[in-house]
Amino acid sequence: MGDLNVNLCGIELDNPIIPASGTFGYGYEFAELYDINCLGTFSFKGTTLESRAGNPLPRIAEGNAGMLNAVGLQNPGVDAVISEELPKLAKVFHKPVIANVSGFSVAEYAEVCGRLDAEPQVGWLEVNISCPNVHGGGMSFGTDPKAAAEVTRAVKRVTTKPVIVKLSPNVTDIVSIAKACENAGADAVSLINTVMSMRIDLKTRRPVLANTTGGLSGPAIFPLALRMVWQVYETVKIPILGLGGVSSAEDVIEMMLAGATAVQVGAANLVDPNACRDIIEALPKAMERYGIEKLSDITGGAH
């Protein structure tokens, strides 16, 4: 049987499979279906300083080979996550977890990350810089290298655990943003987040989503994600978490060959809640089929 172990920022994972934020809740819902300790780890639902009800309905739409969402960061806020969600999670998941953090100002990112950094079960902080910068005219932090670096530096000043910066694909040059985050102290980057998209209802002749646009995820974006992981690997020396349309063991191998140290699985969890478990179970045979003995050896192997 092949060796599935990988090392993410100094922490050993039994395998590189990580459910992506927003598709796995806080874990305990999936623990009713299978033992989630088979996962490498997972990234829990995006957390902000204050609770958020999210965007108006409808906020989910189907696409060809994918889905659109405009959930709007619905979450109970960092205090409730620490006091209510993490204790429930600790009962069913016995490994370090990735805390996904969103914010609307540099100060908010730092505040939320600082609080979650103190929690024993949090192993990494994943900083989602796709949020609108309310102090900078509404443009996403992740679309500007200087803004991305500013958030990274602010978070690193108040944390002791590895910081993963989650990058937006809705940019002209994702490489320059990844490099800016690395230079500002990021321990890793994860990419890609969802791709801005929309659908129109032919009967009403109006956008399907109440928010008009939403983020496209699923198999439709896999080739785009793969290309961006490839490009970023050519430039940065820090680990990359590859995500975007991953739905099979073969996709995992392809993403790692492009440069990923570990791989997040998102929309596939919403299609089949057993997706991550099934991918982990399928990996040894896929490795054997392609002559892979140690999975960590193939990162960047296609370059």
> 10-residue block means of pLDDT along the chain (303 residues)?
95 98 96 98 97 95 93 96 98 98 96 98 96 71 96 98 97 97 98 96 97 95 98 98 98 98 98 98 98 98 98
Q: What is the pLDDT of residue 137?
A: 64
Catalytic residue among 113, 131, 181, 276: 131
Q: What is the value of pTM for the model shown? A: 0.97
Residue 131 annotated to the active site: yes
At residue 138, the pLDDT reads 63
Hey, which residues does 214 pair with through a beta bridge?
197
The pLDDT value given to residue 1: 74
Residue ranges and CATH numbers for the domains of the chain are 6-298 (3.20.20.70)
